Amino acid sequence: MADEKREALAPVAEEASACQKCPLAETRTLVVFGEGNPDSPLLIVGEGPGEREDLTGRPFVGRAGALLDECLAENRITRKHVYITNIVKCRACSSENSRKRNRPPSTAETNACRPYLDRQLEIIRPRVVLCLGSPSANALIHTNFRIMQERGRFFEVPFADYAIAALHPAYILRQGGQAFRDVRATLVADIGAARLKVVEIRKAEAKTLF
Ligand code: SF4
């Protein structure tokens, strides 16, 4: 099944790699389509590539990615267990004093890129989607998502059994001291909740078989 899904994703990734549907095509280095196990029951969706991701073509490979890996590992999850992507596949940035700075993707950019994510969701058919940060939760759970109040809760969604949101690792890295430890703990807990939900779904299905 994983091979079939990989084969189905390949032409979508190929199409995205040459995409010119929004202005982010002009400033990107590489399209960051997503990677991991397409047969995973858990799909992780962030906001968009940053500098390191743009240079490598891989999602979550900078400091935020290292933090995500740590928090996954605390739940006994590795990248081989999950599929990771973003709501936009190209880096959104602005130029300041000839330096590129990350910026949130615009609604028009997010909308232009959405068909790629929709096709990923259709092919992967995850059981649980974990949205990292409010732009991802806004796009996939509901608009005006209040990340501080609504993270850690499960929502019924049409493209998976459930979606849940967690704080984005890049936001967590901007905190210091006890605040850092507190918000980091929420990411570990939210990943753990997503993992447990997958286990619950599978247990419930196993019961209905016998
Ligand atoms: S962000 Fe998405 S829609 Fe825009 S150019 Fe990149 S792949 Fe195409």
What is the residue with the minimal CA distance to atom 6 of ligand 1?
A: 90
Q: Which residues of the chain have pLDDT under 70?
A: 209-210
Residue to mutate, 20, 85, 88, ligand 1, most ligand atoms under 8 Å from C-beta? 88
Q: What is the pTM of this model?
A: 0.96
pLDDT of residue 210: 66
- How many domains are contained in the chain? 1
pLDDT of residue 209: 67
pLDDT of residue 3: 92
* CB-based contact 194:164 (threshold 8 Å): yes
Query: Residue 189 sits in a domain of what CATH number?
Result: 3.40.470.10
- What is the SS3 assignment for 148? helix
Q: Which domain holds residue 92?
A: 2-209
Residues 128, 136, 138, 92: what is their CA dihedral angle, to the nearest 10 degrees? -160
Distance in Å, CA 20 to ligand 1 centroid: 6
- The 3-class secondary structure across 91-104, one letter per residue, is CCEEEECCEEEECC
Task: Identify which of 188, 209, 207 has the alpha carbon closest to the alpha carbon of residue 76.
Answer: 188
What is the residue with the minimal CA distance to atom 4 of ligand 1?
A: 22
Residue 165's CB is within 10 A of a number of other CB atoms, namely 28
Q: Cα separations (Å) of 81 from 45, 76, 140, 204?
A: 14, 9, 21, 21
Residues 6-59 pLDDT 10s: 999 999 999 999 999 999 999 999 999 999 999 999 999 999 999 999 999 999
